Amino acid sequence: MSPVDHSGTGGLGRTLRIFLFRGPGPDFSERDRALLTLLRPHLHEAYLDAERRRHPAPRLTPRQWQLLHLLAAGHTNLQIARRLGVSEGTVRKHLENAYRRLQVSNRMDAVTRAFPEGVVRCPPESSRSA
């Protein structure tokens, strides 16, 4: 396994190639398992980097992101409206626009598309009035 950076920036142009071959023979040794345990977080990060490049973060407004965070936390449209001090119809319209940008048709798909890694945190108090 060897990352190759052709651009000199460590970012774009970086290539990571991994080839794993396992032939017939005995099961993995303790040493093999220990090595894979050490490599696992790095391989996972490489996978997530590739996924981010294939499916970049959707372009949403700060308000749409805010609503999606609240959706992901399990709030209903009415709860979101009360929390943000807007009408339920306004929440519905913001979500419709977010769905269109995300190219989805329902809440579950919107949350899954907006947060592919499943890491969802509600925005801090200061951004709720944005």
Q: Which of 64, 65, 84, 91 is nearest to 125 (CA)?
A: 84
Per-state percent for the chain, helix, strand, coil, to nearest 5: 55, 5, 45
pLDDT in tens, the chain (130 residues): 444 444 433 456 666 677 777 788 888 889 988 998 999 998 888 887 887 788 777 789 999 999 999 999 999 999 999 999 999 999 999 999 999 999 899 999 999 888 877 754 555 444 444 4
Structure confidence at residue 86 (pLDDT)? 96
Count of residues for the chain?
130
Angular region, 85: left φ>0, alpha ψ -120 to 50, beta rest: left
The stretches of 7-106 forming alpha helices (DSSP H) are: 30-54, 62-72, 77-84, 88-102
All domains in the chain, ordered by first residue: 4-54 (no CATH), 62-127 (1.10.10.10)
Q: CB under 8 Å to 36, separation ≥6 — which residues?
A: 28
Number of H helices, E strands in the chain: 5, 2
pTM for the whole structure:
0.54
Structure confidence at residue 108 (pLDDT)? 92
